Structure 1
Amino acid sequence: MPQWIDTAALDDIEDEDVMRFDHAGHIYAIYRVDDQVYASDGLCTHEQAPLSDGFVMGHVIECPKHNGRFDIRDGRALCAPVCEKLGTYPAKVEAGRILIEV
């Protein structure tokens, strides 16, 4: 059954940035863009590089290993070498805290 998990304070992540969040043996990436929050699997689908080391440009995360790109809103793979989409998770802010539904 899905549950909302507290990941961090909203102020812990800068606008157009990404942070890593580990929970129950899974790695997530938490993003903040224009004061909206998003969450996805934390490893690139191409070679499992941590996306928290990547670069955020608007709603796009660029993998630090081979520069593959994903849309953080829906996980779509946007360019080679990635071809498999990321899993994404509902995210919200409550009382200044970022919550994701897992």
Structure 2
Amino acid sequence: MSSTGIRVATLDDIPVGQGIAIDKAVAGTDDDIALLRDDDGSIYALNDTCTHEVASLAEGWVEGGYVECPMHSSKFCLKSGEVQCLPATENAHPHRLEVRDGEVYLFPNEAP
């Protein structure tokens, strides 16, 4: 992996309050990666698949530091991936990101 990260998106690619999925083949990870843009404009990266059931967190609701799964409303902290409510009981895996000149760089499997 590059010490400069992998360029995966621009800020304009990720609407505020939403997410996009980066294919695991691009990220070099076991799961797709959800890039999630909080309502304050901050960007976070978590494994895309909800830990409760197969659903994309990139398709969930992003607000107030959390992403809510679109299937059963499990909630995860954007910063740590820590699960906030049932039915999920396992944390989502976070990944480090850097934003440079409006471009988003992913550091797969590195802690934020």
TM-score, normalised with respect to structure 1: 0.90
The answer for unaligned runs of 5 or more in structure 2 is none
Q: Which runs of 4+ in 1 moved over 3 A?
A: none
The corresponding residue for 2:67 is 61
Which whole-Å deviations, capped at 9, do the CAs of 1:14-64 have from their partners, x for residues lacking one?
222211111326301001222321101000000121111111122111111
Cα RMSD between the aligned structures?
1.5
**Greater share of strand:** 1
Deviation for aligned residue 1:100 = 1.1
Within 5 Å, give how 1:28-43 maps onto structure 2: 28-33=33-38, 34-43=40-49
Tell me if 1:9 matches 2:10. Answer: yes
Alignment: residue pair count:
102
Tell me if 1:44 matches 2:45. Answer: no
Q: Does the 8 Å CA contact 2:34/2:48 hold for their aligned counterparts? A: yes
The corresponding residue for 1:20 is 21
Bigger relative contact order, structure 1 or 2 (CA pairs below 8 A, ≥6 apart): 1
Q: 1:2 to 1:89 in 2, by over 3 A?
A: farther
- Give the counterpart letter for 1:38 in structure 2: Y
